[in-house]
Amino acid sequence: MKIFYSDLHFQHAPAFEVFDGGVRVPTFEVPERAERILAALRKTGWAEIHPPIDFGLDSILAVHDRDYVEFLASAWTEWLATDPEAESATDKSALLPATFALRGQAHRPKSLLGRAGYYMMDLSAPIVAGTYAAALASANCALSAAQAITHTTSTFALCRPPGHHAGKSHCGGYCYFNNAAIAAHWLSAHGKVTLLDIDYHAGNGTQDIFYERGDVLSISIHADPAFEYPYYAGYAEERGAGAGLGFHHNFPLPAGTGDEEYLTTLNAALHLIREFQPTALVISAGMDIYSEDPLGKIRITREGIRQIGARIAELRLPTAIIMEGGYNNDALGDNVVAFLGEFE
């Protein structure tokens, strides 16, 4: 299996995030995540590690608003320039706003901190010196995986930072560019595509991007947003709009969901995919569904993760698997290998 990986992800290493209740904590989304996965993959006999191809910005701009992309590209330099006394990136630490745009207030301010609050949905996507370069490389890993499945069966993009919380014009939840959505859009030029999100958290950014499109069937299986991040999207009644009505499906799960209940829900999602008859499949593969993940409240075992992979693989579709969440670093590599091994 071709694995696409870039060490540019190291450039994105925020020292902290602001957690629930306003507590400043070390970020859970650290470079070690990707390195643990890479080390586990190198122990297999089937993983072929490749650098990504540089696709330029066109494929990203097909999914994300230009002004948002330009904000990510310039934000750190602008942030440093706001304090002439700052001599290094360490002096500025990270760009995070204190004020956020409210619902229905669409005016884009000119100030940097105003734009930060306009383009960020929360305090878990700080921008540091290397954020933009890492996000570009992550998107290129996903695009490389998408391109590769036009002539092979399955690929894996070891994306970091992850992407599924990033919408058309916002970052959040550790995500800056929506890697899976960018890959799915690229593949949509070749036929119908399904994007299946199995991350613990709802793929609100993906929902935002494809909500009014009928050429990409988007499905998200996740913890119920009534009690879990991202709280404001991912409900079962959200089914798409306009041309996309009926082409988006959310499957919210209660806390404590185990293997058997999850697999039953997955079967319903797979039925929708078979009815849609896509030519390609993109998977947002979050391993934070694992029972011992520090950010999760459902209880999927490693065997359950393997079975999830096996059932999806039975679709026999060209499949680009895109890495999303997963924060138990001791188990993360083995969980990813258990999942990917069913596609190898």
User: pLDDT for 21-59, tens place per residue?
Assistant: 889 999 999 999 999 999 999 999 999 999 999 999 999
Q: What is the pLDDT of residue 92?
A: 67
Mark out the alpha helices in 98-203 (DSSP H runs). 112-119, 131-148, 179-188
- Residue 106: partners with Cβ closer than 8 Å, 6 or more residues away: none
Q: CA-CA distance, 296 to 32, in Å (whole number)?
A: 19
For residues 298 and 153, what is the distance between their CA atoms, to the nearest angstrom? 30
In this structure, the number of other CB atoms found within 10 A of the CB of residue 292 comes to 13
Instruction: Name the stretches of the chain with pLDDT < 70.
Output: 84-92, 106
DSSP SS3 for 36? helix
pLDDT digits (tens, 9 = 90+) for 104-160: 776 888 999 999 999 999 999 999 999 999 999 999 999 999 999 999 999 999 999
Amino acid (1-letter code) at residue 161? P
Neighbours of 36 (CB within 10 A): 21
In 103-141, which positions are buried (b, 16+ CB within 10 angstroms) versus exposed (e)?
Answer: eeeeeeeeebbebbbbbbbbbbbbbbbbbbbbbbbbbbb
Residue 297, judged by CB atoms within 10 A of its CB (0-12, 13-18, 19+), counts as middle
Residues ≥6 apart with Cβ < 8 Å to 23 = none
1 contacts 48 by C-beta, under 8 angstroms: yes
Give pLDDT, residue 82. Answer: 84
Q: Is 62 exposed, middle or buried (0-12, 13-18, 19+ CB in 10 A)?
A: middle
Q: Report the C-alpha gap between 180 and 171 in whole angstroms.
A: 14
At 84 the pLDDT is 62
The DSSP secondary-structure symbol of 266 reads H
**pTM of the model as a whole:** 0.96
Q: Which domains does the chain have, with CATH numbers?
A: 2-55+130-340 (3.40.800.20)
DSSP code of 241? -
Catalytic residues, by residue number, are 165
Give me the DSSP letters along 274-341: HHH--SEEEEEE-GGGBTT-TT--SBB-HHHHHHHHHHHHTT---EEEEE-----HHHHHHHHHHHHT
Residues 278, 188: Cα–Cα separation, whole Å: 10
Q: Residues, the chain, total? A: 344
